[in-house]
Structure 1
Amino acid sequence: MRDSTALPGTPCAVPRAGDPPMHRLEVRVSDRTPFAAGTFDTIGPLARASFPHRHTFHEIVHVTAGTGTHVVDLARWEIRPPHLGLVLPGQLHHWEDARGLDGSVVLFTDAFLLDHPGDRDLLRRLGERPWLSLDGPAHARTGRLMAELVEEYGHGADGFETVLRSLLHVLLVRAARLPGPDTAPAPGAPPPGRTAADAVAAEFARLLARTGSDGLPVRAYADRLGVSPGYLTEAVRAATGRTPGALLREARTREAQRLLARTELSIRQIAARTGFSDPAYFCRFFRRETGTSPGAFRKHHDRRAPSLEPAAPPA
């Protein structure tokens, strides 16, 4: 799925019931190049999607105007332009309460990085600090590059793929040079540091973003990281002031809230999806964490999108 593309107008890849939609990259019929560039307006309404979804492609955004929040996995980034943002394939993201959002968008799959295979490593490094605030000169340079990418893609003249790959390479190299104080504020992410404990806490944050709603115990994460549960607890507490268990409960609660608000899955199905074999225990857990029952939460936060997430039969 990482490199999948679709012709314009093709529906999103159908997700498993309750899973966020998976967006594929629309490509032009004439060349099918796995790349697209434009403004938020010309790319289409999904560029500003307010519902959680994943991509099969990379997305780079140069945000020049707007307010609200950009949410990537468990990280929440306040929109205070100008910014340069990156969403990697498979990451869950959406724009929350966005107003006046404007700028440029570049979309591409791994298959587009033929001329510069080292760009994959640049993307990986940028993914560790995916929301950068730009000063005046960096904003101007980024704006010029994004404008060239949009113009070259729009014209589609002879050799445009080579030009696009070269311009994208320059954009990634320059982005990697930018200072990165905007490190991910996701729960579990440590401040900059070089100790072994910091590295363990950072890796826990990455695992948490991918699997935090699966119901795995702290010991399972410690085993994956090759440390004891006690050491993991100390490292995460030092980095965040919170325990791994508290962060895992928060991740499960957020996923349960998303499923309740966005899907028509039954309580039993949502319990199973978030790692609970007993729906009654799930309801007690949810009430303890949120102060309300799953049914009451759904009643007051119903924003389901049945066209994207099909209804489930009653449990």
Structure 2
Amino acid sequence: MRTSSPLELHRLEVPAPRHLPFAIGTFDTIGPLSRAAFPHRHTFHEIVHVTSGTGDHVIDLHRWPITPPNLGILAAGQVHHWDRAHNVQGRVLLLEDSFLLDHPQDRALLRRLATRRPWHTPAPDAAQQITALLDEMHHEFRARGTGMASILRAYLHVLLTRTARSYDRDPRPAPPTADALGERFLSLLDHPATAAGTTVAQAAAHLGVTPGHLADAVKHATGRTPGALLRGTRILEAQRLLVGTDLTVAAIARTVGFHDPAYFCRFFRRETGTTPGAFRHDSPTVPEKHHAPRDPSIAHPANGT
């Protein structure tokens, strides 16, 4: 059963005494939402390292089997849930975009990893390195010593860089690194409500450049045009709402920036090859049950995060 309201957007709730926009713990200490079986999304990024368990992790309508060890990287705004998951154990790392405010290359790399291939099965040597890095990060976070934030950012840089490097050994291409303008444009796509009714000209004006300059930068960073990426963002958000909610097609059309539901249906069919109604009916990623999300993003510190 799907929810009859738009997908809830969860915020990171970090316990005192340090209000660092970052947290790391086990699935149990992070809290019930870390294994949520209903579609949801966050204002924060999430990295999961699964060391045991069975089932599937569904990320933006793509089903990824749990075959430990797995590393999952989700950017803010991506919709996901765990389906038929049993005994999922490992570590969960949560961070707001502001945690990497002074590290734009790492922010861009995290987004690339999340959008290109959010679920990864590392080779044995890489899996050992990931485990060791997360052990160190968890220890540093719990110790809360001087310079903790800088050390955590350094470990995170190594984790993201090594993950991207491991993709180089894969037949599929490694995520590219965007330049500053391309990264700023892509950050707009992290907010579907903002991107829904935005044209390329409006995006360029928002970023203080000409549409031609924006097109060149985005093409260099992603290999695609700004228009194609904006259309893709609208389609993905519509697909998320079709699968994760019981909103009418007309309501979804308005949410993603279309005043005319009929035009939205033609746009959806042109981009996907099917109608919104058929997509909703045929989607294999709809969970059987929905439970209202009311748990905080991480557990109370008394539980030993």
TM-score normalised per structure 1: 0.62
Q: Could you say which residue in structure 1 is the equivalent of 2:109?
A: 129
Q: Does 1:232 align with 2:231?
A: no
Q: Could you list the per-position Cα deviations for residues 248-286 of structure 1 after superposition, in whole angstroms to 9, with x for gaps in the alignment? A: 111111111111111111121111100001111111111
* Count of aligned pairs: 261
Residue 278 of structure 2, aligned match among 296, 300, 315? 296
1:204 is matched with which residue? 185
**Native 8 Å contact 2:109 2:175 kept in 1:** no
2:78 corresponds to which residue? 92
Counterpart in the other structure of 1:281: 263
What is the identity, as a one-letter code, of the residue corresponding to 1:141? A
Cα deviation code 1:157-203 (max 9, x no counterpart) = xxx6x45x7656533323234536629x9xxx98347xxxx432222
Q: Evaluate the alpha carbon distance shift between residue 79 and residue 199 of structure 1 in structure 2; reply closer, same or farther with a 3 A threshold.
A: farther
Q: Which residue number corresponds to residue 172 of structure 1?
A: 153
Number of the residue aligned with 2:176: 191
Which of 180, 200, 224 aligns to 1:242? It is: 224
Q: 1:141 to 1:296 in 2, by over 3 A?
A: closer
Q: Which residue of 1 aligns with 2:10?
A: 22
| Secondary structure, aligned partner of 2:257 | coil
Name which structure has the greater RCO, CA cutoff 8 Å, separation 6+.
2
Greater fraction of residues in helix: 2
What is the rounded CA distance, in whole Å, between the counterparts of 2:157 and 2:23 in structure 1? Answer: 21
Conserved 8 A contact 2:58-2:81: yes
Taking a change above 3 Å as real, the CA distance of residues 228 and 123 of structure 1, as seen in their structure-2 partners, is: closer
Residues 1:247 and 1:139: Cα distance change in structure 2 (over 3 Å): closer
Secondary structure at the counterpart of residue 164 of structure 2 = coil
C-alpha distance in 2 between matches for 1:23 and 1:174:
23
Partner of 1:114: none
Any conservation in 2 of the 1:142–1:171 contact (CA below 8 Å)? no
Q: What is the aligned-residue identity percentage?
A: 37
Q: Is 1:256 equivalent to 2:256 in the alignment?
A: no
- Which of the numbers 118, 139, 158 marks the counterpart of 1:148? 139
For residue 236 of structure 1, report the CA deviation from its aligned partner.
Answer: 2.4
Which of 88, 92, 102 is the aligned partner of 2:89?
Answer: 102
Return the TM-score normalized by structure 2.
0.64
Aligned-partner SS, 2:92: strand
Structure 2 unaligned segments of length 5 or more: list them: 114-119, 168-173, 294-305
Residue 268 in 1 paired to residue 250 in 2?
A: yes
Q: Which residue of 1 aligns with 2:301?
A: none
Q: 2:53, 2:89 within 8 Å by CA — same for their partners in 1?
A: yes
> 1:49 corresponds to which residue?
36
Q: Name which one, 1 or 2, has greater alpha-carbon Rg.
A: 1
